[in-house]
Amino acid sequence: MFELGLIGLLTRRNVIFTLMSIEVMLNAAGLAFVAAGARWGQADGQVMFLFILGMAAAEVSVGLALVVRLHRLYKSVDTDSASILRG
């Protein structure tokens, strides 16, 4: 339904906004699952939403830890500042 408005939003240069956009996209996918499950009267859609929920929780915890790490290194949360990889 409104995933089209949600997926085209990864245009911000900020890591926090990127994480929020990922949350929104996962939420839209979960909404599609639940709506489809409710349309055909199956419980599978809600089960899939529970899996999406758990995955989103794990992803957000790791992502925010990365944000803290990045902020300690570069004193900024700009995405482009972390474009240099060095081990």
Partner 1 sequence: MFARSCRSEAIMLPAFYISAVIAIIGTVLTITRLHAVHALLYLVISLLAVATVFYTIGAPFVAALEVIVYAGAIMVLFIFVMMLLNIGSRAVHMERAWLDAKAWIGPALLAAILTAELIYILIAGRSGAVGINGVGPQQVGISLYGPYVLGVEMVSMLLLAGIVGAYHLGRNAPGEVESVDDIESGLQRAVAGGDLVRAGSDRPAHTP
Write out the residues near partner 1 by the rule CB under 8 A: 1-2, 5-6, 9, 11-14, 16-17, 19-21, 23-24, 27, 31, 34-35, 37-39, 41-47, 49-51, 53-62, 64-69, 71-72, 74-78, 81
Q: What residues contact 67, with CB distance under 8 A and at least 6 apart?
A: 15, 16, 19, 77
Half-sphere exposure of 50 (CA within 13 A, CB side): 4
Q: Which is nearer to partner 1, 69 or 85 (CB)?
A: 69
3-class SS of residue 78: strand
Q: Which is nearer to partner 1, 65 or 86 (CB)?
A: 65
Count other Cβ atoms within 10 Å, centred on residue 14.
Answer: 14
Q: Which is nearer to partner 1, 6 or 85 (CB)?
A: 6
